[in-house]
Amino acid sequence: MRVIILAAIGALLASPAFIPAVAHGHHGGLAAQYQARPNAGAVPTPGRQWLPGDHHIHSEFSADYNADPASPQTAPIPLLGKDGRYAIVKNAQMARQFGLRWMVSTDHGGPNHSKLNYEQAWPEVERARRSVPEMLIFYGMEFDTPAGDHSSLIIPFTGAEREQLRAIEFGFSKKEPWPRDDARDTEGRMIDALKLMRDQKIPPVLIANHPSRSATAPSAWGLYTPVEFRNWNDTAPRVAIGMEGAPGHQAGAIRPDGSPDPTGNRGGYGRAPTLGGFDQMTATLGGFWDSMLAEGRRWFTTATSDSHSNWRDGGNDFWPGEYSKTYVQARPQHSDIIDGLRTGRIFVTTGDLVSEVEVIAASGRGRAGIGGTLNARKGRPVDVTIRLRDPAAANAAGYTPSVARVDLIIGPVTGPAADRRTDSAPATAIARRFTSADWRRDGEYLTMTYSVPAVTGPLYIRVRGTGTTELEPSQDPKGENPWEDLWFYANPIFVTVQ
User: Which is it for strands 493-497 and 459-466: parallel, antiparallel or unpaired?
Assistant: antiparallel
C-beta separation of 164 from 18 below 8 A? yes
In a domain, 476, yes or no: no
In a domain, 403, yes or no: no
**Cα distance between residue 144 and residue 134, in whole Å:** 30
Nearest alpha carbon to residue 470 among 309, 310, 277? 277
User: Which is it for strands 300-303 and 240-246: parallel, antiparallel or unpaired?
Assistant: parallel
For residue 38, name the pLDDT band (cuts at 50, 70, 90): low
In a domain, 405, yes or no: no
3-state secondary structure 77-134: EEECCCCCCCCHHHHHHHHHHCCCCEEEEEEECCCCHHHHHHHHHHHHHHHHHHHCCC
In a domain, 28, yes or no: yes
Which pLDDT tens digit goes with each residue over 287-340? 999 999 999 999 999 999 999 999 999 999 999 999 999 999 999 999 999 999
For residue 70, name the pLDDT band (cuts at 50, 70, 90): confident
Give one word for 364, left, alpha or beta, with left for phi > 0 and alpha for psi -120 to 50: left
Cα 112-205-356 angle, rounded to 5 deg? 130
How high is the mean pLDDT of the chain? 93
In a domain, 197, yes or no: yes
**Per-residue model confidence (pLDDT) at position 32:** 37
Which pLDDT tens digit goes with each residue over 389-431? 999 999 999 999 999 999 999 999 999 999 999 999 999 999 9
Angle between helices 2-13 and 161-172 (to 10 degrees): 160
What contacts 70, CB < 8 A, 6 or more positions away?
Answer: none
**What is the domain extent for residue 232?**
2-350
Which pLDDT tens digit goes with each residue over 458-493? 999 999 999 999 999 999 999 999 999 999 999 999
In a domain, 474, yes or no: no
**Cis bond before residue 111 (omega within 30° of 0):** no
CATH classification at residue 262: 3.20.20.140
Query: Is residue 30 pLDDT above 60, yes or no?
Result: no
What's the pTM value of the predicted model, to 2 decimals?
A: 0.93
- As a whole number of angstroms, the longest Cα–Cα distance in the chain is 74
List, in sequence order, every residue forming a beta bridge with 434; answer none if it has no partner: 406
What's the structural domain count of the chain? 1
Phi then psi for residue 138, to 5 deg, are: -100, 145
* Single-letter amino acid code for the residue at 70: A
In a domain, 478, yes or no: no
Residue 221, classified by CB atoms within 10 Å of its CB into exposed (0-12), middle (13-18) or buried (19+), is: buried
In a domain, 70, yes or no: yes
* Single-letter amino acid code for the residue at 104: V
* Single-letter amino acid code for the residue at 383: D
